[in-house]
Amino acid sequence: MTQHLSLGPIMMDLRGPAIDADEREMLRHPLVGGVILFTRNFVSVAQVAALCAEIHALREPHLLIAIDHEGGRVQRFRDGFTQVPAAGTVHRLYDSDPQRALALAEDFGFVMASEVRAVGIDISFAPVLDLDRGISQVIGNRGFHRDPEATADLAHAYMRGMRRAGMEATGKHFPGHGGVAEDSHLTLPIDPRRYADIEAEDLLVFERMIHYGLAAVMMAHVEYPAVDPQPAGFSPFWVKEVLRGRLGFQGVIFSDDLSMAGAEGVGGYADRVRNALEVGADMALICNHTEGVVETLDELQWESDPASHMRLARMHRHRPTDWAALEKNHDWRVSVARLAALGLDDPTGQLPV
């Protein structure tokens, strides 16, 4: 029987390709509003489509289903899916032939979003708006370019492709993860730059994308001590003063995964979620840690925010689709053929110029 609940502020994951009994109970908890899928949840196109349909049937309005499926090395589903090149594949091409690079970036976003939507997923956490300065271990060529204006142009094209497929975009990682070498999955990166330096480069990309209608932002687990002592996702300054205030962002704010080492200094899982929500996040992610989800559902006291619920509801898929309909879609077939014609043996490499 379908439950009628508002979307809660927690996004959780699943252990495998089917929903376990305890997970089903958690997914029906009023504090849960979304599910994020990983490679371990995928067996085949048909299986994951059935899984998404089952998740959506649990609640009304249905739970948001998300995935990190950017292309390149961050693509959760592969068998049956098009291998989308990494965003940075077009870096050098943009410098010599920007129009072709922008067209390809739009193809990347369109193919990616079309395929994950066709199995029932609402959102992919993409594109990456971090600058590829050649510093970050975890960002690298997940970023489009090292130049802010070029990054904004290419990310805008990628977002246009996503929107053509009926999916809203999520820009990450605010206010910018490209200036630190460390991986926030493993430690809390420290970026020593002043606000003026971050504003002139990293924030320019987010400002442009917000102007273009970016629907959602994911926060960075990075600390900028010259600006604020709290990591960005737990900082009222970065979330309320800068993102909501100075940049005028009115869309959804997601935390990054709160099981990452970059979030450990805030306390236990319920504390991490509470802190993220208190500074202005609409939804907090807990991945790869069932005990953390259970702890949070047991301990967190949180009143539903109608404005936050409305923002989250806008992230639902705009038009119903399925894989059979996708295979008949002329635009998708043409874009897939263009990606195949690139002849990339390594989809994380650079296109020739």
The DSSP code sequence of 51-99 is HHHHHHHTEESPPEEEE-EEETTEES--TTS--PPPGGGGHHHHHH-HH
Write down how long the chain is: 353
62 is catalytic: no
Nearest to 86 by CA among 45, 126, 134: 126
Nearest to 139 by CA among 130, 152, 127, 149: 130
The answer to whether 319 touches 67, Cβ cutoff 8 Å, is: no
The answer to whether 211 touches 253, Cβ cutoff 8 Å, is: no
173 is catalytic: no
Neighbouring C-beta atoms of residue 192, cutoff 10 Å: 12
Annotated catalytic residue, options 191, 256, 257, 282: 256
Q: How far apart are CA 281 and CA 264, in angstroms?
A: 17
Annotated catalytic residue, options 183, 185, 305, 331: 185
CA distances from 208 to 141, 149, 178 (A): 20, 9, 17
What is the set of active-site residues?
Answer: 185, 256
